[in-house]
Structure 1
Amino acid sequence: MTRWVEHFESLLNRPPPIEPPEILPARNDLDINCEPPTLEEIENAAFDSIDRDTLWKLLRHYGIPPKIVTLIQKMYDGTSCKVLHEGRLTDSFEIKTGVRQGCLLSPFLSILAVDWLMKESTSGSRNGIQWTLWTQLDDLDFADDIALVSHNHSQMQDKTSTVNQLSGSIGLRIHPGKSKMLKIKSEDTQAITVGGKPLEVVENFKYLGSVIDHSGGTAADVRSRVAKARAAFKTLDKIWRDRTISTKTKIRLFNSNVKSALLYGCETWSLNQSSLKKVQTFVNGCFRRILRIFWPERIRNEELWNRAGQRPIREEKTQRRWRWLGHTLRKPRNSITRQSLQWNLQGKRSRGRPRTTWRRNLEDEMKASGHSWRDITRMAQDRREWGTVVRGLYPLQGEWL
C-alpha cells in the first residue's frame, strides 16, 4: 500500500516547470478588444426600439378598442430593469422604448408595427414582382425577418430607402451589417445602400431555416440539410454503438433526431437525380451503422430498408410533398402560398435544357398517379379523401416503424 501511495504522489504532485508559464504576456498579446462597448454597439445589440407612443397610435389605427389600448399602456408605464455587470446589479432605470421581453403580447405588437411599415412602404408604388394580373408581390415577412423582392436594381433601391426612412418614424431601422443582397440571374454589379452603406452581396443566405441560392435551385439547401443531419447523427454515436439498446429504439431515435433535421423543408425541394442520390447515400450509411452492417458484408439497398423498416427517401419526400400540397390547396384562393403553386415568372428562360423545378417534379408525379390539377384541387378539399390519395401513392409493404 505504501508503494502505491508513493507512486500516485509522484504522478499527482508534479514538480513546477523550469520556466513559469507566460500567462501575463499571453493575456496582453491576445487579439481581443477588452474596451467597454460604445453606445452605437449597445444600440445595435438591443432587442428592439419601437417607439411606444407610435405603437399606441397604431393600435388605435387598426381598430383596437380604446379600453384595451389603455390597459396595454398601463402595463407598460413605469417598466424598469437592472443590468448585471461584473457580478453586481446596477441601479434600476426606466425603459421607455421597445416591447417587454417574454410577454405573450410582444410578438403581436411587433408584427403590428412591421405590418404597418410594409403597407406604407409599398403602397402607391409598383416596385415588386408581378404576382397576379392586378397585384404585385413586394415582400415576404416572418416577424421582423423581411425579404424584399424586386425586378431590378433601381426598384430595389427605392423600396429599401423607403422602408429604411419609414422605419425611423416608429423607432426601427435596417441594420446594414445584418442585411444581405441576393441577385438571381442578374448581371448588374451595383450595390444596394442603406444610409450610405452598401449591403453585402451574397450567393446564398439562410432564411427561416432554408438556404436560398442565387441559381434558384435547392442544391445548396440539400447540402446544408445533409450536413446538419450528419452532425445530429454523430452526436448520438454512443447510442448507435450501444448493444443494450434495441434496433427499434435506435430507428425511432434516428427518425426523430436525424431524419427530421434532414428532411426539414423537403416539401419544396426540386431534386434532380444527383441530389437525391446524395441524400439517399447518407441515409443508407446511417442505417448500416445502426444495423451494424460493415464491410465485407454486402446487402442490397432494398434489404437494408426492409431491415430498418424505412421507405426510400424518394417515396418519403413525395408523400410529404403531397401531404403539404393538400394543406396548401385548402387555403383561401387569395393565399400567397396557394397562388404560388401555379405562378408563372415573367421573363425569358436561358438557352438549353429546362432545369428541374418543383412544379415539373410534381407534374411528373401527378402523371404517374393518373391525376390532373383539377382532380387534386377537388380531392384536397376533403381531408379524409386526400389522406387516402397520399397513402395510395406508395402502399405500405410489411411492418414499418
Structure 2
Amino acid sequence: MVISRKQESPKCDIFINKVKLKQAEKFKYLGTIISNDGKTSREISARTAQAKINFQKMKIILTNKHIFIETRKRALQCYIEPVLMYGCEAWTISKQIQNKLKATEMWFLRRMLRILWTAKKTNERVLNEANKRRSLARTIRKRQAIFLGHVMRRGKLEYLVTTGKFEGKRSRGRQREKIMDGLATWLGPGKVSDILAAVKDRDLWRDMITNVYKQGT
C-alpha cells in the first residue's frame, strides 16, 4: 500500500521471490480498516454500520418500553458503543465526522424511544425524553486524550511518530486536521506545545481531561 493525498495512488511494484505483490487500496489489520488516503472515514463508516447491526440484534431489549430507559441506556453503553468506538484512539475527527457521530447517537436514542421520523421531534426534545446528554463524541475525545498521555509519557516510537515533522514545504490547499490539533481544540485555548508540556504530569493531565469532559464540550 502507498499512502498518498493524491486522488490516484502512485504505483509501487514490490516483488518477493519474483512474485509481484498486489497493491491494495485498503485492508483490515487487527480489526481496523487502513486506507491508502490516510484517512479514517472508511473505518468510522464501517464501525457505525457494525454498531447499527448489533443494535438491531438487541432490538427486542433496547426498544422494550417495559424495561426502564436507564437500564436500556446501560445496555447500549456496554454492548453497542464499544463496537462503534473500537480503535477510536487513532481516529482523526473532522467536523463532518463529528456530525456523523452525533447523528448515529441520535439514531440509537430515537429507536430506543420508538420515535418515528414523521413525529418531527427535535434532537433536543429526544435528549430530554431520554434524560441524556450527548456523550459519544466526548467519550471518544476522552479516550484519545488518555491514550495520548500513555504514548507521550512512554517516550518510545509512538512518541516520535506523533511529535515528528517532515522536511520540505506544505502542499497546496487546506491542510488536513491532525489528532493533536483536534485534542488541542477540545481541551480549550492553547497550543500543541502546551499539551505536550501538560501531559508529562499525569495528575494534571487527568484533571484536565475530567474537567473538559464534565463541561460537555
Q: What TM-score do the two structures reach when normalised by structure 2? A: 0.84
Structure 2, unaligned stretches of length 5 or more? none
More helix by percentage: 2
- Mapped partners of 2:22, 2:182: distance in 1: 33
Shift of 1:190: 4.1
- Mapped partners of 1:261, 1:347: distance in 2: 39
1:24-103 map, 5 Å: none
2:172 is the counterpart of 1:344:
no
Q: Give yes or no for contact 1:305–1:312 (8 Å, CA) kept in 2.
A: no
Number of aligned positions between the proteins: 212
Structure 1, unaligned stretches of length 5 or more? 1-181
2:73 is the counterpart of 1:251:
yes
Instruction: For CA contacts below 8 A with separation 6 or more, give which structure has more relative contact order.
Output: 2
Q: Secondary structure at the match of 1:202?
A: coil
- Aligned partner letter, 2:204: E
Which residue of 1 is the match for residue 203 of structure 2? 384
C-alpha spacing 1:302/1:268, structure 2 compared with 1 (3 Å): farther
Residues 217-260 of structure 1, C-alpha deviations (whole Å, 9 max, x = no match): 11111111112111111111111233332211111111111111
Which residue among 99, 104, 109 is the counterpart of 1:287?
109
1:236-247 map, 5 Å: 236-247=58-69
- Mapped partners of 2:105, 2:77: distance in 1: 11
Between the aligned residues of both structures, percent identity stands at 27
- Mapped partners of 2:48, 2:88: distance in 1: 12
Which residue of 2 is the match for residue 226 of structure 1? 48
Shift of 1:378: 4.2
Q: Secondary structure at the match of 1:275?
A: helix
Shift of 1:337: 1.5
- Aligned partner letter, 2:207: T
1:318-397 map, 5 Å: 318-331=141-154, 333=155, 335-346=156-167, 348-366=169-187, 369-395=188-214
Q: CA RMSD in A?
A: 2.4
C-alpha spacing 1:393/1:225, structure 2 compared with 1 (3 Å): same
- Aligned partner letter, 2:105: V
- Mapped partners of 1:313, 1:243: distance in 2: 23
The runs of at least 4 consecutive aligned structure 1 residues that moved more than 6 Å come to none
- Mapped partners of 2:94, 2:42: distance in 1: 13
Look at both structures and tell me which one has the larger radius of gyration over its CA atoms.
1
Q: Give yes or no for contact 1:251–1:308 (8 Å, CA) kept in 2.
A: no
Q: Secondary structure at the match of 1:200?
A: coil
Which residue of 1 is the match for residue 22 of structure 2? 200
Q: Give yes or no for contact 1:184–1:215 (8 Å, CA) kept in 2.
A: yes
Which residue of 2 is the match for residue 265 of structure 1? 87
